[in-house]
Amino acid sequence: MQKWIFFVLFILAGALGLGVLFQDISDRQEAQEAEATAGKMQQLKLVASNWQFDTPEYTIKKGEPTKVSLSLKEGVHAVEIVGLDIKLDKENPSKEITFDKPGTYEIDCVLPCGEGHAKMKSKLIVQ
């Protein structure tokens, strides 16, 4: 009788182990697919240092999924792309968005960062 109980428990444990194994493989495949999709995504990296961005203007293509990210090289900054619903800071450093409308947008530092804060601006050109 004990042999049957151990046999049933062994089979159940094996089935449970296989279920966990296949679930883990499934999760890994989903993560790899998400990374592949993100790899195809257009990147817009805004690098902020004391009272300036790394470039006076950024250019991206319209209609493509884009990951907008803020990198703080010096100081503490928060940025807003005026006219779009994009605000990035230390707590929320990135956002995924598709720019549908071509045009020129202003990028402003919206966190007072010192004496040159008023001049801390850049442009985003969506083509």
The pLDDT score that the predictor gives to residue 47 is 94
Q: How far apart, in whole angstroms, are the C-alpha atoms of residue 58 and residue 115? A: 24
Q: Which residue did the predictor score with more confidence, 10 or 65? A: 65
Q: Average pLDDT for residues 42-68, to the nearest whole number? A: 93
Q: Mind listing the pLDDT tens digit for each residue in 35-50?
A: 665 567 899 999 999 8
Q: Which of 23-27, 40-44, 57-61, 82-86 has the lowest mean pLDDT?
A: 23-27
- What does the chain come to in residues? 127
Beta-ladder partners of 125: 59, 104
Whether the CB-CB separation of 79 and 115 falls below 8 Å is answered with no
Q: Which amino acid appears at position 103 of this protein?
A: G
The pLDDT score that the predictor gives to residue 4 is 85
78, HSE (Cβ side, Cα atoms, 13 Å): 10
The pLDDT score that the predictor gives to residue 115 is 87
Average pLDDT, the chain: 86
H runs (alpha helix) in 52-98: none
